[in-house]
Structure 1
Amino acid sequence: MSRPSAPAIRRAVIRACKRLDTKGHVAGAEGNLSARIGATRLVVTPSGRCKADLTAVDLISIKTDGTGMVGQLRPSSEIAMHLAIYRARPDVGAIVHAHPLAATAFAVARTPIPKGTLAEVAGVVGPTPVVVYRTPGTAALGRAVSAALRTANVALLANHGAVAVGPTIGVALQRMESLEQAARTILAARLAGRPKTLKAAERMTLEQLWKSGAGRGLVTRAAPRRRI
Structure 2
Amino acid sequence: MTAPHDEKDLANALVEVAEQLFAAGVMSHSGHANLSARLDGDRFLLTPGFVCGLRPEQLMIVGFDGQVLGGRLQSASAEIVAMHSIVYRARPKVGAVLHTHSPAATAFAVAHRPLPCRTEPMLRFGQAEEVPVVPWGPRGSDVSVRGIAQALERRPTTSAVLLANHGLLVFGPDAADTANLLTAIEESAEAEIAAMAIGGAVDFPDGALEAVRAAMARVSS
User: Normalised by the shorter chain, which TM-score bucket?
Assistant: 0.7 to 0.9
| Alignment equivalent of 1:101, drawn from 103, 114, 131 | 103
The offset of 1:213, in angstroms, is 5.1
1:25-69 CA-partner distances (Å, limit 9, x unpaired): 13436220110122322110124xx31132111111012232252
Whether contact under 8 Å (1:43, 1:60) holds in the other structure is yes
Question: Greater shift after overlay, 120-129 or 97-106?
Answer: 120-129
Whether contact under 8 Å (1:58, 1:73) holds in the other structure is no
Whether contact under 8 Å (1:126, 1:154) holds in the other structure is no
The offset of 1:4, in angstroms, is 4.5
| Alignment equivalent of 2:159, drawn from 137, 153, 164 | 153
Whether contact under 8 Å (2:192, 2:200) holds in the other structure is no
Unaligned runs of 5+ in 1: 217-228
> Residue 61 of structure 1 corresponds to which residue in structure 2?
61
Aligned letter for 1:46? P
Q: Given the superposition, is the C-alpha separation of residues 25 and 68 from structure 1 closer, same or farther in structure 2, using an over 3 Å criterion?
A: closer
In 1: Cα distance, 2:218 partner to 2:113 partner = 29
**Percent pairwise identity:** 29
Aligned pairs (5 A) from 1:177-216: 177-206=183-212, 208-209=213-214
In 2: Cα distance, 1:122 partner to 1:100 partner = 19
Aligned letter for 2:16? R
| Structure 1 position 133 matched with structure 2 position 125 | no
The count of corresponding residues between Structure 1 and Structure 2 is 210
Aligned letter for 1:148? A
Aligned pairs (5 A) from 1:1-228: 4-22=5-23, 23-28=25-30, 30-47=32-49, 50-74=50-74, 76=77, 77-115=79-117, 117-124=118-125, 125-127=127-129, 128-150=131-153, 151=156, 152-206=158-212, 208-209=213-214
TM-score, normalised to structure 1's length? 0.82
The offset of 1:139, in angstroms, is 2.6
The offset of 1:145, in angstroms, is 1.4
In 2: Cα distance, 1:145 partner to 1:71 partner = 27
Q: Given the superposition, is the C-alpha separation of residues 177 and 143 from structure 1 closer, same or farther in structure 2, using an over 3 Å criterion?
A: same
Q: Given the superposition, is the C-alpha separation of residues 179 and 84 from structure 1 closer, same or farther in structure 2, using an over 3 Å criterion?
A: same
| 3-state DSSP of counterpart to 1:182 | helix
Give RMSD over aligned pairs. 2.4
| 3-state DSSP of counterpart to 2:70 | coil
In 2: Cα distance, 1:194 partner to 1:56 partner = 43
TM-score, normalised to structure 2's length? 0.84
Unaligned runs of 5+ in 2: none
Aligned letter for 2:54? L
Whether contact under 8 Å (1:18, 1:52) holds in the other structure is yes
1:171-224 CA-partner distances (Å, limit 9, x unpaired): 111111000011111111221233222222234433x448x75798xxxxxxxx
The offset of 1:73, in angstroms, is 3.8
In 1: Cα distance, 2:19 partner to 2:208 partner = 36
